[in-house]
A and B are shown apart, each in its own frame.
Chain A
Amino acid sequence: MIADDKDVLRDVWFGRIPTCFTLYQDEVTEREAEPFYLLLPRVSYLTLVTDKVKKHFLKVMKAEDVEEIWFEYEGTPLKWHYPIGLLFDLHASNTSLPWSITVHFKNFPERDLLHCPCNSVIEAHFMSSIKEADALKHKSQVINDMQKKDHKQLWMGLQNDKFDQFWAINRKLMEYPTEEGGFRYIPFRIYLTMSDRPFIQKLFRPISPDGHTHTLGDLLKEVYPVAIANEAKRYQVVIHGIEPLLETPLQWLSEHLSHPDNFLHISVIPAPSD
């Protein structure tokens, strides 16, 4: 069981998405730009892993034509502060692989994207997500008891793709006092494609007051019943590119299927019509 759990953790960590980066055709180039293929890690962030992409395309461009890099998929600017796996599940999960992303160097969409000038911005965003998650889980006690070097180790583990280095510290964040039976609240976000608001986040306990373990189905029923209401199965509930059974315990999900930032990012997308 524990070995299974460890395998799950490993599979989640080492998930990859094949991507084809194409330079936007209107960009000014000295020569024709070749598309760039890359396997992107699901759990990381776009701007953290696309240095090679940037270098590849900068070879064919003049320096004065280059501003901040940004990515879009089929017209939609991709938010770099969402994990890559979430972006794929949300926008392109049922399309043919590889995932085609268009690279832009000009006309940065100020209204849709945040600027990402350097990696320390990504680190700050990552660490704040962790702290927010721990605030929900442990009232921030665990994260505050950690030293600065432990926080640094979490970030370095993610940046350098080091599973063991990351989970050496992260397992502390997945512990809970046995009498509680679980976290205080489950840190989750539900992302919808057809909605004005970016995501749903609410307080939700993993154990009901009468000791009953809450499942994924309980969560959806509580927070977004539309997703499971239809018998026609119009929506898919996707985490990390898979659809967990609705009877999966929420506490287990939070422990094993969270992203490195300790959040359960759940995508609800319309089911494809076969």
Chain B
Amino acid sequence: MAALGVDCSEASEVEGNNFSCQKTADSWKRDIIRQLKHRDKSQKSMFQDVIRSYISLLERTNQQALITKGILGSGSRHLASSSDSLPSLISKNDDLKKITGELAYQVVELQQEIRIKDSVLEGQAVRMCEVQRSLQGVQSDYGGLAARVAEVTEGNRQLKREYDALLERHHDMDQTFRVEKVRGQELLEDLIKRKQHAAVRMNSRNERRVRAREASLQKELETAGKLNVTINVKKRRGNSVCLSLQEDLYAPVGICVAARVPARALHVLDAHELGINAVRFSYSSNLLATGGTDRSIKLWDVKGGMLHNRGTLDGSNEGITSIEFDPTGTRVLAGSYDKSALFWRLDDSVPKLTLTGHSRKVTAAKFKCSMRHVVTGSADRTVKIWDLHRAACIQTIEVLSYCSDVVCSEFFIVSGHYDRKIRFWDSRAASCTQEVPLPGKVTSLDISPDHRQLLSCSRDETLHVVDLRMNSCRICFRAEGFKCGCDNTKAIFSPDGSYLAAGSADGAVYIWNINTGNLETRLPEMHSSSINAVAWSGSGEYVVSVDKSRRAVLWSDI
């Protein structure tokens, strides 16, 4: 720089020719210009090229370093500049190769891991697909079920509506029913009232009829009284002789002189709807009454060898067990399964009296000799005595056993029982005076017309006759083929007291001679089932037998 200062004056001289006009004034300027040029030459131009090529070389090496860095992928830097020595280059190359090997191994490992992870992912994707599918399935099911639920609820609502409608209708119907019921009750009451009125009217009519009959009787009696007739009135022990005009008078009893043993059947007919249990002839006439399971008593007349129906007595609620006529033949007494005894007057078909009080079926109902009283025997182990006027039971006798039949004599009541005994009762004292044991169940009793003998039929296929006076002698009657058909088989005396008749289970009527003790005759073939009862007419001409199969047969000897 010092040299420059010395040179400046010289230089200004050299360049002075160029600047002609203001040489001195601009000498300092020229000096400056010159100095600047010199400076640039020494400082700038000499170094410019070197530094430029240096910088370009540097950049190139940087590029190469970047490239190798990119290839290796690691952080190691390598400047392959020309100034490096060969061995270091070789060692660096070896290092790079080792690193490449390691990296290749790592790459293989990582690829393996990637493959494993991929397979896992696939599996998961598959599972997810499955799950999605099942989800879809479930969703569709759910959709279906929801639809069904909606349907069902709709259906329910429908049903509910219908039900409500029906309920309302039912309600209305209920109302109408109640109204109708009330009306019905009113009508019923009306009807009852009317019936009562009718009954009252009928009662009054009956009474009028009775009174008329009484009046006519009275007239007859008066006329009869005017006649001189001697009447034997037997004294009854303890019985009061009732002098009332009507029912207590004995009518004359017809006496049969001789009974005729029947030989053949005159008339066979089906008399009833169901089986016939009882049959009885009236004492004085040929009027026949039959009664059975069909609850009615039919009246028959025997004319010209035939049975003609004369009427029906109704009023029993159940089957008839026994029938009895009163001595006048105008009144009928019957025992019934409906635990009552019924009493008819023959004019009326409706019972005048119903005697209730037994707790079981009435097996026999008989008039007591005074005609005011009735004796009934019942399965309830009692015998009751009734007053007809009052229609009430005046005495009950505990007879200890099922009573199957009852007969009355002047002095006592005889009852037959299932415990194989016949008991005699004193009616006043209601005590048992005698017991007669029998080998079998007593099915029926009958008393002879002269009240001297008692016939009993028992289940051991025998008939026994007891002498009432002596209370002892018994005759036993048997027959080949005779069997009691049931517990109520009836055996009877003939009206003259010389024969016994009974129906058998084989459908034949057996007739014994009392005096000889032997079977007199046997009448088979007319009945096809067991005979329940027989009756002998008061005149002795006819015998009627009735059986279980509703058949009645009229027998006679001609």
Contact = CB atoms under 8 A, between A and B. Distances in A.
Chain A bound to chain B: yes
A249 B26 CA distance: 10
Interface string B18-43: 00000000111101110111011011
Contact of B44 (A12, A39, A247, A248): A39
Contacts of A249: 28
A7 B43 contact: no
Interface in A15-36: 15-18, 30-31, 34, 36
A236 interface: yes
A67 to B, nearest CB: 21
Contacts, number: 93
A233 B5 CA distance: 11
Contacts of B42: 97
A93 interface: yes
A12 B36 contact: yes
Contact of B43 (A4, A17, A59, A244): A17
B77 interface: yes
Given A7-B33, A8-B32, A248-B32, A31 B48 contact: no
B357 to A, nearest CB: 138
B36 A248 contact: no
A27 to B, nearest CB: 17
A4 B37 CA distance: 12
B51 A244 contact: no
Given A31-B79, A245-B27, A274 B2 contact: yes
A244 B28 CA distance: 7
A11 B47 contact: no
Interface in B41-80: 42-44, 46-48, 50-51, 54-55, 58, 77, 79
Interface residues on A, range: 35 or more
Nearest to A89: B1
Contacts of B31: 244-245
A82 interface: no
Binding site secondary structure of chain A = loop
B371 interface: no
Given A31-B77, A59-B77, A243-B4, A8 B33 contact: yes
B392 interface: no
B51 A18 contact: yes
A36 B54 CA distance: 9
Given A59-B77, A245-B27, A240 B36 contact: yes
B302 interface: no
A35 B36 CA distance: 29
Contacts of A98: 47
A94 B81 CA distance: 33
Nearest to B21: A1
A181 interface: no
A247 B28 contact: yes
A243 B36 contact: no
B44 A16 contact: yes
B28 A94 contact: no
B44 A242 contact: no
Contact of B29 (A4, A243, A271): A4
A272 interface: yes
B5 A243 contact: yes
Contacts of A238: 1
Contacts of B5: 243
B526 interface: no
B37 A97 contact: no
B430 interface: no
A16 B28 contact: no
Contacts of A243: 1, 4-5, 35
B391 interface: no
Given A15-B40, A16-B48, A39-B44, A242 B35 contact: yes
B388 interface: no
Given A11-B37, A242-B39, A274-B2, A18 B47 contact: yes
Nearest to B9: A245
A7 B40 CA distance: 13
A37 B32 contact: no
Interface in B71-103: 77, 79, 81
A271 B29 CA distance: 23
B43 A94 contact: no
B36 A8 contact: yes
Contacts of A31: 77, 79
B8 interface: yes
Contacts of B58: 36, 56
B28 A11 contact: no
Contacts of B48: 16, 39
A248 B28 contact: yes
B36 A94 contact: no
Contacts of B35: 242-244
Contacts of B1: 93-94, 236, 238, 243, 272
A241 interface: yes
A48 interface: no
Contact of B33 (A4, A37, A241, A274): A4
B528 to A, nearest CB: 143
Contacts of A236: 1-2
A1 B499 CA distance: 205
A168 B55 CA distance: 32
A38 interface: yes
Nearest to B50: A37
- 8 shortest interchain CB distances as A-B pairs: A18-B47, A242-B35, A245-B28, A248-B28, A16-B44, A11-B36, A241-B39, A37-B51
9 contacts: A16-B40, A18-B44, A18-B51, A30-B77, A34-B79, A39-B48, A94-B1, A242-B39, A272-B1
Given A11-B36, A56-B58, A240-B39, 4 more contacts: A7-B33, A15-B36, A37-B50, A244-B35
